[in-house]
């Protein structure tokens, strides 16, 4: 809460008892007026005016300024109580202090002002008890604030994902450096941080100051220990932090914990002011950020009266406190076995790679993995042309229209022309006339362009919508649900049918499409177990359409473009190669979208994207590594 917003309420609190308790006695009125003026100026932050209303302005100024230092960012609301006037020119005024401590619960206590008559006026006695009744000369208040232990973000089994983990902070004390260029070069070689960045940071530091280079988990630090430990000027403080099992463990969904930024402090502030303070460790992204208040809980505090002389070892006397209020755990559908297998699989690729796993029938996100080369957020919010993985949706539209069955003979020429633009199969392969299932399994572009040309312009969008594509999912962590235009014609309509043109998808949405095909009941995405639904479940294609489509996807694995997966159990899928950019020849993303039934982890659906993978074989290879890692 900012000071300016408190003052009006403080003044109004003061005004009420003045009217209610007015006795008509002139001394009472004068004492009350003096006490009210002092408290109002103090609450208003006008230290000079408040001190001027005392019998010793210099002492009062020092006292009030010390209190402002002791209770930083705190604001005072004061309520005046009973007034008693003695026969000896003295009086007392009872009052209630309520401190908004900023990012901590309020602190209230009863106190008394002593006043002394000075001619026709009354002055507040400048003594420590005007701040707190337990405060004496040579003492001040000491505020300590404590957050509770952060509540657990758990996996599907209810086990905590983020656990206390030892972290070694690799840093430099500028005062101990003997050869900065050599130090920066050695640290850069060990950590990967640029020598220029290290040099600039150390030069900007002061002797005795810790200049951070990199924070490493203990095993990672031990791997470089011999390279850095004896370098002059280096320092290695150790901390314990809540961390996930690996640095990129479902990071796009779960997020990270770190020091609160100004933006996060602002977004977590309540109606009465900030809930947290600079230096607090809060969720900085993902679910950790979306559920900051639930997971973090509420800070507690202790206020003690201690000696102004720090050398006395005085531990002080506690005069106020509130216990921290723990947060509440949050369960996710993440399955660690799947997540770790997905991470290991994407790590086999040097190119940016993503793998998202979804539970058919429920829409639960079981794993979200991206490798070091990738922007992890692209697993959920990336917008990519899906290439031939889109043929799962185009086939849905064709089968729904009744134009084809899996056995219908269809031409698969090497090229086809639409409005003067030539489209081709990879390397212009030509199958002649084959059953629709074979054209699907071999990913024949020309077949799908020719067959979809007779569909209504909105048929492809309608088929996509039946799987939830384009839905406005209301989820804690944003995801891109895909985009398929309903009004494309001509060459754009042709390109859309093979996942080019104006069609865009994210890995998570393609995994949801595969899950809908597997289960027959497409579902909204689930990021939090027991959370608010992301939206209504998609209607889904007709059961007969899915009954026809599934064997076609199985054939892709048994004899088609994903035959490398034929020994990975009952796997169904569709490969995709999606051109992008303006290069000649064009670059291409590689996709594999599919599902496995009755595998080691039950029924799972997944989507793999290798950015700029050039062909679907890269994505099939990652899928193979993933399924192989499940046993």
Fold exhibited by the domain 153-322: Penicillin-binding protein 2a (Domain 2) (3.90.1310)
Distance CA 450, CA 447 (A): 5
Q: What is the DSSP string of 319-358?
A: EEEE--B----EE----HHHHHHHHHHHTT-SS-EEEEEE
pLDDT reported for residue 314 = 65
Domain residue extents for the chain: 3-133, 153-322, 336-390+460-486+498-629
* Average pLDDT score over residue span 51-71: 97
Residue 136 phi/psi, 5-degree rounding, is -125, 175
Find out whether 328 and 298 touch, Cβ atoms under 8 Å. no
Distance CA 168, CA 630 (A): 32
Residue 37 burial by Cβ neighbours in a 10 Å radius (0-12, 13-18, 19+): middle
pLDDT tens column, 232-285: 999 999 999 999 999 999 999 999 999 999 999 999 998 878 899 999 999 999
pLDDT reported for residue 55 = 96
Q: In this model, does residue 15 exceed pLDDT 60? A: no
Task: Indicate the helix (H) or strand (E) that contains 191.
Answer: helix 180-191
Q: Which two tokens stand for residue 15?
A: 């005004």
Three-state SS sequence of 196-240: HHHHHHHHHCCCCCCEEEEEEEHHHHHHHHHHHCCCCCEECCEEE
Distance CA 12, CA 325 (A): 31
DSSP label at 467? T
- Per-residue confidence at 143, pLDDT binned at 50, 70, 90? very high
Q: In this model, does residue 21 exceed pLDDT 50? A: no
Q: In this model, does residue 9 exceed pLDDT 60? A: no
Within a 10 A sphere around the Cβ of 23, how many other Cβ atoms? 11
Beta bridge partners of 144: 302
- Per-residue confidence at 26, pLDDT binned at 50, 70, 90? confident
- With pLDDT > 90 as the criterion, what percentage of the chain qualifies? 91
pLDDT reported for residue 7 = 32
CA atoms within 13 A on the CB side of 502: 13
Q: Which two tokens stand for residue 1?
A: 């809460």
pLDDT reported for residue 120 = 86
Find out whether 351 and 612 touch, Cβ atoms under 8 Å. yes
pLDDT reported for residue 271 = 82
CA atoms within 13 A on the CB side of 82: 2
Pick from 607, 128, 544, 221: nearest CA to 386:
607
Distance CA 376, CA 417 (A): 38
Distance CA 268, CA 263 (A): 9
CA distances from 478 to 175, 360, 474, 503, 526 (A): 46, 20, 8, 19, 12
Find out whether 603 and 589 touch, Cβ atoms under 8 Å. no
Higher per-residue pLDDT: 22 or 555:
555
* Average pLDDT score over residue span 284-302: 97
pLDDT reported for residue 528 = 98
Beta bridge partners of 483: 504
Total residues belonging to the chain:
631
Cα angle value 234/237/243 (rounded, 5°) = 125
pLDDT reported for residue 316 = 84
Q: In this model, does residue 1 exceed pLDDT 50? A: no
Q: In this model, does residue 325 exceed pLDDT 50? A: yes
CATH architecture of 3-133: Roll (3.10)
Q: In this model, does residue 10 exceed pLDDT 70? A: no
pLDDT reported for residue 22 = 40
Is residue 601 classed as helix, strand or coil in its secondary structure?
coil
Find out whether 150 and 327 touch, Cβ atoms under 8 Å. yes
pLDDT reported for residue 128 = 97
Q: In this model, does residue 27 exceed pLDDT 70? A: yes
CATH architecture of 336-390+460-486+498-629: 3-Layer(aba) Sandwich (3.40)
What is the average pLDDT value for the chain, to the nearest integer? Answer: 94
Question: How much is the CA Rg of the chain, to the nearest whole Å?
Answer: 34
Non-local (6+) Cβ contacts of 255 within 8 A are: 283, 284, 285, 286, 287, 288, 289, 290, 477
Q: Using the Cα atoms of residue 394, residue 398, residue 400 and residue 404 in order, give the sign of their dihedral.
A: negative
pLDDT tens column, 571-616: 999 999 999 998 888 899 999 999 999 999 999 999 999 999 999 9
- With pLDDT > 70 as the criterion, what percentage of the chain qualifies? 95
Within a 10 A sphere around the Cβ of 599, how many other Cβ atoms? 16
E-strand stretches of 428-562: 432-435
């Amino acid at each position: 809460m900012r000071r300016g917003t408190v003052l009006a309420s403080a003044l109004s609190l003061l005004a009420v008892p003045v009217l209610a308790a007015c006795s008509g006695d002139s001394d009472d009125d004068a004492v009350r007026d003096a006490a009210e003026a002092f408290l109002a100026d103090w609450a208003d932050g006008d230290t000079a005016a408040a001190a001027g209303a005392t019998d010793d302005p210099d002492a009062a100024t020092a006292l009030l300024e010390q209190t402002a230092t002791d209770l930083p960012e705190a604001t005072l609301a004061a309520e005046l109580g009973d007034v008693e006037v003695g026969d000896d020119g003295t009086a007392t005024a009872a009052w209630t202090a309520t401190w908004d401590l900023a990012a901590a619960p309020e602190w209230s206590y009863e106190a008394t002002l002593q006043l002394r008559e000075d001619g026709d006026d009354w002055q507040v006695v400048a003594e420590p008890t005007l701040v707190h009744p337990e405060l004496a000369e040579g003492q001040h208040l000491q505020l300590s604030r404590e957050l509770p232990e952060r509540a657990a973000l758990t996996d599907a089994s209810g086990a905590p994902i983020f656990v206390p983990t030892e972290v070694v902070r690799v840093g430099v004390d500028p005062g101990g450096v003997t050869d900065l260029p050599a130090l920066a070069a050695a640290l850069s070689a060990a950590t990967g941080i640029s020598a220029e960045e290290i040099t600039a940071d150390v030069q900007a530091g002061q002797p005795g100051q810790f200049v951070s280079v990199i924070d490493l988990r203990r095993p990672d630090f031990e791997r470089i220990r011999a390279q850095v430990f004896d370098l002059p000027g280096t320092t290695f403080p150790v901390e314990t932090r809540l961390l996930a099992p690996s640095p990129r463990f479902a990071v796009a969904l779960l997020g990270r914990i770190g020091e609160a930024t100004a933006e996060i402090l602002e977004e977590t502030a309540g109606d009465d002011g900030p809930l947290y303070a600079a230096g607090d460790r809060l969720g900085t992204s993902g679910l950790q950020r979306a559920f900051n208040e639930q997971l973090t809980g509420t800070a507690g505090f202790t206020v003690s009266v201690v000696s102004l002389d720090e050398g006395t070892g005085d531990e002080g006397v506690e005069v106020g406190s509130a216990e921290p209020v723990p947060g509440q755990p949050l369960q996710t559908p993440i399955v660690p076995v799947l997540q770790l297998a997905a991470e290991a699989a994407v790590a086999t690729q040097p190119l940016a790679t993503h793998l998202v796993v979804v539970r058919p029938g429920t829409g639960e996100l079981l794993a979200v993995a991206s490798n070091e080369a990738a922007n992890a957020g692209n697993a959920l919010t990336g917008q990519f042309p899906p290439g031939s993985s889109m043929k799962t949706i185009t086939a849905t539209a064709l089968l729904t229209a009744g134009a084809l069955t899996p056995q219908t003979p269809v031409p698969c020429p090497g090229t086809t022309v639409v409005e003067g633009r030539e489209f081709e199969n990879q390397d212009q392969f030509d199958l002649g006339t084959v059953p629709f299932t074979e054209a699907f399994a071999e990913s024949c572009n020309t077949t799908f362009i020719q067959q979809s040309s007779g569909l209504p312009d909105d048929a492809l969008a309608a088929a996509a919508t039946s799987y939830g594509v384009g839905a406005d999912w209301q989820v804690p962590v944003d995801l891109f649900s895909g985009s398929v235009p309903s009004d494309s014609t001509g060459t754009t309509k042709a390109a859309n049918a093979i996942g080019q043109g104006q069609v865009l998808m994210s890995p998570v949405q393609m995994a949801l499409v595969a899950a809908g095909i597997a289960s027959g009941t497409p579902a909204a995405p689930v990021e939090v177990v027991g959370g608010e639904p992301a939206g209504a479940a998609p209607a889904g294609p007709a059961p007969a359409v899915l009954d026809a489509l599934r064997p076609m996807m199985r054939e892709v694995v048994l004899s088609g473009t994903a035959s490398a997966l034929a020994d990975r159990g009952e796997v169904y899928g569709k490969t995709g190669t999606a051109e992008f950019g303006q290069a000649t020849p064009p670059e291409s993303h590689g996709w594999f979208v599919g599902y496995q039934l009755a595998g080691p982890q039950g029924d799972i659906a997944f989507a793999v994207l290798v950015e700029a993978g050039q062909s679907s074989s890269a994505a099939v290879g990652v899928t193979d590594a993933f399924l192989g890692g499940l046993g």
